[in-house]
Structure 1
Amino acid sequence: MEHIQSYTDKLTDWLERILLKGINKIDTKDMEELESLQESALGYEMSFLAQLLAELAIHGKSYTRAAQAEMEPLIVRYLYVAQYVHMMKQSA
């Protein structure tokens, strides 16, 4: 159980850092960290969370590659993940 708590803390730290940095300033390093977090979610058999993180990564990569990419899908996926993690922490 401590491993899952440590994982959710890492995920929360990532979410907070992106929020403070500005979602519009997301970069490839952030996407690499997100992919690592997604792999950890799969390792902990958190398939729904892993799916949310994968969708966030898809939109994040799209945003970082294209100068004219829509930001709204990225923000929506970010908020889904943030809300899910918040609910996980409340139920723990």
Structure 2
Amino acid sequence: MRPPLDRAWNVSGGHWVSRAREYVLDDNQWTGFAPRLDVLEVPGDHDSMVLVPNVSVLAKRLKAVIDAAERPQAQGESPPLHARTAAE
């Protein structure tokens, strides 16, 4: 069991669906681990969202989220997440 992560997270493109291809959970049960979860809808499925032409939409959405995370935060907001290398 992992404790909840006190950070803002963005998850793109994943949904748990029924046999009728109906969405069952909006967050695919991630909110329990990342309470500040934001699900981004992108075209494609787990595999095809990283292939042309869907990858351009995914890249655009990720760039917007990364740009927003790197902007200076207002007082009282959580600090932005910073990319780290594996060595860090």
Range of TM-score over shorter length: 0.3 to 0.5
TM-score of the aligned structures, taking structure 2 as reference length = 0.36
Structure (1/2) with the larger strand percentage: 2
Q: Relative contact order (alpha carbons < 8 A, sep ≥ 6): 1 or 2 greater?
A: 1
Rg larger for: 2
Structure (1/2) with the larger helix percentage: 1
